[in-house]
Amino acid sequence: MRIALIEDNRFHAMLFEQAVRDKYPGFMVTVYATAKAFLREYPAAGYDFIAVDFSLPDMDGLALINLVRSENPDIPIVMITGVGSEQTAVEAMKSGATDYIAKSGDYNLAIPRVIKQAYQKQQLILKNRRLEVKVRETEKLEMITTLASTLNHEVNNPLMAILGNVELLLDDGQAGDTNMIDKLKMIESSAQRIQMITHQMANLINPSIRQTPVGPMLRLKRKGEERTDARERVIPTTACKSD
């Protein structure tokens, strides 16, 4: 794990580095004495974890957390506060900090524990977020299949009436106006096309949403096309975008 520590107190920075090194030898800590120095390299440095001291010489620690969080909502961030600064810790959590560490007597012992807890907490947040997105997509897909089945039923009845009447008119008008017959055949063809589309929609299975360069696409298969090499119908949709 690559950790960025923004801390202007050299002694506290050394304590932090040593505590991390003792518990997690493979972790790397990069120390910045100012927020400005950190921001020059972030986000290109690709850090996995950020620890921010509340009192920085050039920027309020809460402001820095807000700035980082606006650009990267997923990275774990820990606020380092002074002893007895519970209100600061509360404000830090409101600003987007994942957790906080107080510079108390057991500061060096608390550092690795809080890092682990904050990282696990952030991973749980990300997991829950992915699950929420999956649930919303599942609900939308269920709504799509229900709508398709309902549409087929509701549209098919009037279509049958249209096709039946067109057929009667064509049977009665064989010797009539040629132009009228052509128009009736056009109506019949269009109605049959609508009937075919609604029937296909009612027989769709396994709809899924995938992201493409042009936006969310709804991937559809019809019954009888369960094979992985079956041809798929892929249509663009804005209705499937997450809220």
Which of these three, 129, 151, 167, is where a domain ends?
129
Residues of the chain with pLDDT below 70 are 83-84, 173-176, 201-243
Query: Is the same domain home to 119 and 147?
Result: no
Query: Is the same domain home to 123 and 180?
Result: no
Per-residue pLDDT tens for 84-95? Answer: 677 888 888 888
Task: Using the structure block, give the residue that is written with the tokens 């957390």.
Answer: 65
Which of these three, 76, 102, 129, is where a domain ends?
129
Residue 240 has what pLDDT?
A: 41
Q: Is residue 24 part of a domain?
A: yes
Query: Is the same domain home to 112 and 152?
Result: no
Q: Is residue 45 part of a domain?
A: yes
Per-residue pLDDT tens for 104-114? Answer: 888 889 999 99
Residue 237 has what pLDDT?
A: 46
Residue 220 has what pLDDT?
A: 57
- Report whether 30 contacts 4 (CB < 8 A): yes
Residue 80 CB-density burial (10 A; 0-12 exposed, 13-18 middle, 19+ buried): buried
Which of these three, 129, 159, 193, is where a domain ends?
129
Residue 178 has what pLDDT?
A: 78
User: For the chain, how long is the longest CA-to-CA vector?
Assistant: 104
Task: Using the structure block, give the residue that is written with the tokens 């609900």.
Answer: 139
Q: Is residue 243 part of a domain?
A: no
Residue 216 CB-density burial (10 A; 0-12 exposed, 13-18 middle, 19+ buried): middle
> Phi and psi of 50, rounded to 5°?
-130, 135
The CA-atom distances, in angstroms, between 19 and each of 25, 36, 104, 190 are 10, 25, 14, 75
Residue 112 CB-density burial (10 A; 0-12 exposed, 13-18 middle, 19+ buried): middle
Q: What is the mean pLDDT of the chain?
A: 81
| Pair of tokens at residue 71 | 């650009």
Q: Is residue 242 part of a domain?
A: no
- Report whether 76 contacts 49 (CB < 8 A): yes
Residue type for position 20: V
Question: Which CATH number characterizes residue 44's domain?
Answer: 3.40.50.2300
Query: Is the same domain home to 121 and 22?
Result: yes
Residue 241 has what pLDDT?
A: 43
Query: Is the same domain home to 105 and 172?
Result: no
Q: Is residue 139 part of a domain?
A: yes
Query: Is the same domain home to 52 and 159?
Result: no
**What is the spatial distance between Cα 74 and Cα 165, in angstroms, rounded to a whole number?**
62
Residue 203 has what pLDDT?
A: 66
Residue 192 has what pLDDT?
A: 87
Residue 59 has what pLDDT?
A: 93
Query: Is the same domain home to 84 and 52?
Result: yes
Q: Is residue 148 part of a domain?
A: yes
Residue ranges making up the domain that contains 145: 134-236
Query: Is the same domain home to 231 and 138?
Result: yes
Q: How many domains does the chain have?
A: 2
Query: Is the same domain home to 157 and 218?
Result: yes
Query: Is the same domain home to 79 and 44?
Result: yes
Query: Is the same domain home to 158 and 232?
Result: yes
Q: Is residue 90 part of a domain?
A: yes
